[in-house]
Structure 1
Amino acid sequence: MRYNVDSDFKKQHFDAMVHFNEKNHNKYFTVIQKGVQFKNYVGVVQIGGLTIEILPKVDYNEMPDENLWQGVLLNMLKICKHINVDNVSETALKKRYNSILEVYYAIYLNEIENLIKRGLVRKYRRIKSNQLALKGKLVFTQNIQKNLVHKERFYCEHQIYDGDHLIHQILFKGLTIFNNLLNGGLNDKLNRVMFEFNDFKELNITASHFKRISINRKNKPYQRAIEIAKMLILNYSPNLNSGGDNMLTLLFDMNKLWEEYVLRILQKHKPNNTTISFQNKQEFWKSNSRTKAIKPDIVVTVTNDEINTPYIIDTKWKIRDSNNPDDSDLKQMFVYNLYWKAERSLLLFPKVNQDDSNFGKYNYLANDMEANKCKLGFISIIDDYKIKREEALCNEILRKLI
């Protein structure tokens, strides 16, 4: 964890984080004496001028290279498509950011700038208003209520063609959030962009507003900006108390991120005779109307001479001793092997200084289960203080299965 602050960590910041965690069933961190201890989540929390970045460090160094691990996180988010690939170049990934939020801020502003250059989409919408001439349809009841004295006016319902519609209102809300939180070099660009949205209505945007948006040919260029706006708006917590700090959280479950990272690398760089499938599901228990299913993280199927050989990979983001596997992990892999008729399975962990274990054989009575084996494997996503190449990672993982 690292802090980028305009002020020291204060009690108001601690209280805001505890309140946020309690609202989310205490899933993000544990409260300890005079602080918090994050669990399986990485990302960033911004409270007013305080920015707390939680990085996916896996080493024993008390003074890790924080810029390296920030680069690792950005690269994982890029590969898992949580950051748009087209918008994040290799040069950008090597840049030092105060936090990963700055990356999203920059992408969002770039997307909206491009939309402004293309011309913001206009739509027809119906409004009701007082007019000096009859325009559209006269609303009789409200016309009598509002214009009893002013006979020269007409309260009408009519169409106008402009840009003040839901999509722009959502993007405008995202910009106002930036305006409350942003400090630094992007302020000038933010002010230029916001000038184009000054005439649009500011709504209190909720999840229901995003459900009303349907992407079509006309608004397709807006999709990336809308996705970032959704992520940021729904993770923003304005403090309604006088003098309080607004809060924005962008947190990712590291176990899920690690699983998806490994999956996407394997899918992208696998050999031609290999297929990669994700979270295959099979029913393994049923009672009356209730059923239970099992689903391994990744199933690798290698085809040679028209014979398909399945292997199971289950990813775990935690530091694990290769000589001390969890009983629950081993039992889980045993069941996967049975159901998918796999000869070998792999528990895949991030590498610190461990060596892979040998394939251990399950002591099972059936003669046809002689080949039911499992091992612990470890891979490092950095090499010589650089992020390891995807293809090298893919080959390294697959070699552990054979």
Structure 2
Amino acid sequence: MAKSELEYITGEVILGQDWTEIKKLPDTDFKLSNKTQPFENLGLSIKDRDKKTYYTKGYVGVTRLKDKNNCNILCPNTNKEYILNIKPRFEGLNPIKMINELKDDDEFLIYLSSDKKEDINNLEDNTLFHFYENEAPIEIDGGFIEEGNIISTVLYINLLTEICKRNLMGKMQKHEENLTGKVKGKIMFNKNINSNLVRGRKDRIYCQYQVYSIDILENQILKYGLYKAKKIINEFFREISSDIKRNIAYCEKALENVTFRKISLQEINISKVSGFYSNYKQALKFAKMLIEGVSIDAYGNVKKVCVTPYAINMQKLFEFYIRKVIKNEIKDKYKNDLVLEPYDKKFNILYENRDKKDRKLFVETYLADNVIPDILLRYQDGKYMALDVKYKRYDKYDTRDDTLQILAYGMLFDCEHIGLILPEQIIDSPIRRQEYRLDIRSSDKNNKKYYHEIIISEENKRNILSNIIISKCTKK
């Protein structure tokens, strides 16, 4: 959609939930998600082609509804675009609060990287979120504006901080100056005559020369984007971490010699970066989102906030959120007893094999290294507790695969306590905690494991470990 000015669109909103059938859709063929493009139409898929039964997948967010030709679908009655707005099916989970909890996590950048390396400039293939960058901003009511903007704002501040810690990009620019007693560069004869000779100032020479300056368009865009990001934070997220405040102050100081001015969309489109400063690319993308999405009046107040269409992977968000909650609980209660293993740490699978030279001896042989439990906690004595985070509804018919998975983790890491962490299934229901003792048949009579199912609610989220730990962390 070509546009010379920012275009804010309010469309006909179709509400739905993740992993749920979507009803009241227009009668057309939609663009469906697939393995290579999982974010298409927020994961829309078809279950029954004859009945045209459509289901969503595990993504929440907002986007324009697209047909199979990737064209926007218009409502025939109002001629407005259809806007697909998907919310979590577990009403007790608030994506804004979850993202807000994550924004100062020390592993936040690793969560966003597809290869689990802390590279904030490699976000295209991350599994947590997706921005539809080529779409015009959408103006809708409700918290979904906040969700998209808190992601883009926090990421932008982190990106900009990383840039400011390095040398800011600069360029050679022409500079004119009326010098005293010396010549630098080339003499501007006409200006020298008008400014000096006709006034009897023969001691001065008007010159033009090249200087290296960071006051260039790309840095001016970043500074204006920081101004918009700060406005969003002050408007919606007043309770922010000290790290973000410190990063904002650091960026403002680093950019103090860059001119602050209003930036147009056309100027953003002509900005260029390459080579050594390729780390600017992602920051400029997010700056564009913020500049497009925030409208500020003449008094400096936020007049209108729109959002670039986006999708959030709720399974990943729930997993990362639980990791942060557990980190907080360890810090408050168990910092001398438990350690949460890093998210990007891989564990080798070994098996006992007979030694080739001495067949009576058994040696550990490497098999694979792709075992990465969601939550792996290590006690002081080296023992482990393994927990798996599942964003799904649960009943007695669909737990087998998941319990076998966590049981395999328990066997691999010799855990006494294993379990699943699930979202609250019914609003205002009592907190449910199930515990089972599993006796594993082996020659070791003490080989027993305790299996837990912990249902997370707003009330008990600060006591996940307290619901599981029986005696290891309390007995000395």
Structure 1 residues 96, 370: CA separation in 2 closer, same or farther (over 3 Å shift)?
same
* Letter aligned with residue 402 of structure 2: D
* Letter aligned with residue 394 of structure 1: R
1:331-387 CA distance string (max 9 Å, x none): 221221122221110111112148333324154334256313423221223xxxxxx
- TM-superposed deviation, 1:398: 3.2
For residue 11 of structure 2, what is the aligned residue in structure 1? 7
The answer as to whether partners of 2:435 and 2:452 remain within 8 angstroms in 1 is yes
The answer as to whether partners of 1:361 and 1:370 remain within 8 angstroms in 2 is no
Query: Residues of 2 paired with 1:278 and 1:348: CA distance?
Result: 18
Structure 1 residues 348, 106: CA separation in 2 closer, same or farther (over 3 Å shift)?
closer
The answer as to whether partners of 1:45 and 1:249 remain within 8 angstroms in 2 is yes
For residue 30 of structure 1, what is the aligned residue in structure 2? 44
Query: Residues of 2 paired with 1:209 and 1:356: CA distance?
Result: 54
- TM-superposed deviation, 1:296: 0.8
For residue 76 of structure 1, what is the aligned residue in structure 2? 98
Q: 1:337 and 2:410 equivalent?
A: yes
For residue 462 of structure 2, what is the aligned residue in structure 1? 394
Q: Which structure has more helix as a fraction of its residues?
A: 1
For residue 260 of structure 1, what is the aligned residue in structure 2? 320
Query: Residues of 2 paired with 1:56 and 1:212: CA distance?
Result: 36
Query: Residues of 1 paired with 2:437 and 2:64: CA distance?
Result: 46
The answer as to whether partners of 1:356 and 1:375 remain within 8 angstroms in 2 is yes
Aligned match of 1:57 in 79, 82, 89? 89
Q: 1:274 and 2:318 equivalent?
A: no
For residue 143 of structure 1, what is the aligned residue in structure 2? none
Query: Residues of 1 paired with 2:373 and 2:144: CA distance?
Result: 37
For residue 125 of structure 1, what is the aligned residue in structure 2? 171
Structure 1 residues 124, 343: CA separation in 2 closer, same or farther (over 3 Å shift)?
closer
Q: 1:251 and 2:311 equivalent?
A: yes
Query: Residues of 2 paired with 1:327 and 1:253: CA distance?
Result: 24
Structure 1 residues 167, 124: CA separation in 2 closer, same or farther (over 3 Å shift)?
closer
Residue correspondence of structure 1 range 285-364 to structure 2 within 5 A: 291-303=368-380, 307-321=381-395, 323-353=396-426, 355-361=432-438, 363-364=440-441
Q: 1:370 and 2:423 equivalent?
A: no
* Letter aligned with residue 338 of structure 1: M
| Structure 1 alignment gaps of length 5 or more | 60-67, 84-94, 116-120, 139-155, 177-184, 187-192, 215-225, 237-245, 382-387
* Letter aligned with residue 339 of structure 1: L
For residue 42 of structure 1, what is the aligned residue in structure 2? 60
Query: Residues of 1 paired with 2:310 and 2:82: CA distance?
Result: 14
TM-score calculated relative to the size of structure 1:
0.56
| Structure 2 alignment gaps of length 5 or more | 1-7, 15-24, 66-79, 106-140, 162-166, 176-182, 188-207, 229-234, 237-258, 292-305, 352-364, 471-476
Query: Residues of 2 paired with 1:77 and 1:264: CA distance?
Result: 10
Query: Residues of 2 paired with 1:9 and 1:53: CA distance?
Result: 7
Residue correspondence of structure 1 range 174-213 to structure 2 within 5 A: 196-197=262-263, 201-203=267-269, 212-213=278-279
Structure 1 residues 175, 257: CA separation in 2 closer, same or farther (over 3 Å shift)?
same
1:70-113 CA distance string (max 9 Å, x none): xx211100111189xxxxxxxxxxx95463257449959x98xx
Structure 1 residues 204, 17: CA separation in 2 closer, same or farther (over 3 Å shift)?
farther
Q: 1:283 and 2:335 equivalent?
A: no
* Letter aligned with residue 126 of structure 1: M
Structure 1 residues 43, 104: CA separation in 2 closer, same or farther (over 3 Å shift)?
same
1:150-188 CA distance string (max 9 Å, x none): xxxxxx993364632433346668999xxxxxxxx99xx
The answer as to whether partners of 2:375 and 2:386 remain within 8 angstroms in 1 is yes
* Letter aligned with residue 340 of structure 2: I
- Tell which structure's C-alpha radius of gyration is larger: 2
Q: 1:18 and 2:18 equivalent?
A: no
